[in-house]
Every structure is written in structure tokens, then in C-alpha cells.
Structure 1
């Protein structure tokens, strides 16, 4: 039986990804933390971004795909993200209901997690933010401000 190659976590790459995600998410935060931001991407893809907890150095947000043409609940995007304002990083805390993601999972594992699952969910957030920048339109549901796609 051939041995598996040793997986090494690229901490620098993960930090860069978290910094880029922070920069993208800060622009989407509502002016008032009690408001929800609705993000529309095309005609059938809508998300709600809600601040769930706020402290001096951190803000926790939830990104949830709103009901639409998807029939299966488990296929809808649901992310819990913590923004660390002192280091300007964002970290996905939970994805699709899976909490406390480890940086590295041994293979095989009983939960069938990918070796680099934490990196993958943070990359998914980066890809989602890129899609929002390219095609998204969003509005704060409290003040009804509207910002067209192509925001910076």
C-alpha cells in the first residue's frame, strides 16, 4: 500500500485569503448593525447578510441564501463568518451547518472532511465575494440604500 504524501498547511496563503475576504466583506456590512443587507445576483439568486454579534474587535455575520427556485435546503449557501478588525481578517466559522472547522483533517476521517476543508470554505467565500463584485446588487433592508453591481 502506497503511503499518502504529507499535507502541509500554507498558513501564509490562508492569511492572504482571509485578508482579501475581510476587505470584500467590510464593504457589504450594513450601516446599522440591526439591519440586514440583501444581495441579488441575477434574477433567482438572493442572499441575506446579517450581523449576528458585534464586539470591539470582532463582528460575526451570517450569509444565507434566500428561498428561491432551489428545493433542497441543504443545497442553499449558509456561512457564519467572523471579522477580526484588529488584524483585518475574515474567517469562516461554519459552513452548511458544520461548525468548528479544523485547519487540517487526517485522511480518511469519519466525517469525510477534505484534508484542507477550512481553506476550501474560505476560498468559497472569496469566490462568492468575487461574484458579488461582478454581478451583485445589494440594498440595506433598513435604509433602502441601493448600490449597483461593480462596487469597490
Structure 2
């Protein structure tokens, strides 16, 4: 019988804290409704990232991060993550992919959506890699608001 998956909470908390700091460095105090960044990938095609503040409260904020890479095939061109920032705990985590349901901490496998057992941990790791790359290579564009 396979060993049961148990989330490594100290590791996940450290990643959530690091993601909060990365977002804070990129976005400051979230005083704008939208932020845009870009960088150039391997194909000399700009990759765009847009961060939209969905809601902001005293202790939490919800953001949508959308990355668009026209050099990739259709289903992989756009990636959207919904992120929740916990200002009092100074942590940030992915709460959903795309327009999907909220991610669970552990999934049975196999499951209907074919999520991995540790899908949420992988999503948070992906967010951390994405934000670290953006901090190293991204260029902030002028803030804009929807017309």
C-alpha cells in the first residue's frame, strides 16, 4: 500500500511567506487596481503578466494573476491564478487555477479533475517560481485602469 501524503506545513508556510514578500516587492501597497509587466521569452515574443486586485480588505486581498505567452500553443498561452494575500500573517497562497474551484490541500488520486495529490503545494511552488522570474527579468508597464 502506498504511503499516505501528508503536507509539509512548515515548508508550505515558508513558501507562502516568501510569495507574500515577492508580491509586496512587485506591487507595493496594492494602491492601484491593476499592474502590468512584461519580459521577453526565448522566441523574442513578449510575455505579459497582468495583476488585478479583485478585492481588498483590512486583513486580506484577492488578486488575479494572468500570464499570456503568444509563443506557446493555444491551451498553454494563458495561465490564470487567483491568489489570496493574508496581510496580518504576511502570507500569500494560490486559491484556484483559472476559473476553477478552490484548491484543496490534499486530493485523492485518481480524481475527477486529475489533480495531483499535492496540487495546491505545486501551485504555490509555481507561483513562487513565476514571481521570482518576474522580479529578475520583468519590466513594469505604466499602470492602467479598464475603460
Q: TM-score range by the shorter chain?
A: 0.7 to 0.9
Higher relative contact order (Cα pairs below 8 Å, separated by 6+ residues):
2
Task: Report the counterpart of residue 118 of structure 2 in structure 1.
Answer: 116
Post-superposition offset of 1:86? 0.1
Contact 2:49–2:67 (CA<8 Å) still a contact in 1?
Answer: yes
Q: Residue 19 in 1 paired to residue 17 in 2?
A: yes
SS in 1 for 2:53: strand
CA positional deviation for 1:70: 4.1
Contact 2:69 2:77 in 1 (8 A): no
Mapped partners of 2:78, 2:56: distance in 1: 25
| Deviation of 1:110 (Å) | 2.1
**Structure 1, 3-12 or 115-124: larger mean CA deviation:** 3-12
**Inter-partner Cα distance in structure 1 for 2:77 and 2:83:** 18
Tell me which residue corresponds to 1:98. Answer: 100
Between the aligned partners of 1:67 and 1:108, the Cα distance in structure 2 is 30
Alignment equivalent of 1:38, drawn from 36, 39, 44 = 36
Under a length normalisation based on structure 1, what TM-score does the superposition of the two structures give? 0.83
The Cα shift of 1:66 comes to 3.7
Moved over 6 A (4+): none
For residue 77 of structure 1, give the secondary structure of its aligned residue in structure 2.
strand
Tell me by how many angstroms 1:134 deviates: 1.7
Match of 1:87 among 86, 89, 92: 89
Does 109-118 or 72-81 show the bigger shift? Answer: 72-81
Shift of 1:71: 5.1
Matches within 5 A, 1:26-65: 26-29=24-27, 32-34=31-33, 36-42=34-40, 43-65=45-67
SS at match of 1:24: helix
In structure 2, runs of 5+ residues without a counterpart are none
Q: What is the TM-score with the length of structure 2 in the denominator? A: 0.85
- Shift, 1:136, TM fit: 0.9
Question: 2: distance between equivalents of 1:32 and 1:88?
Answer: 17
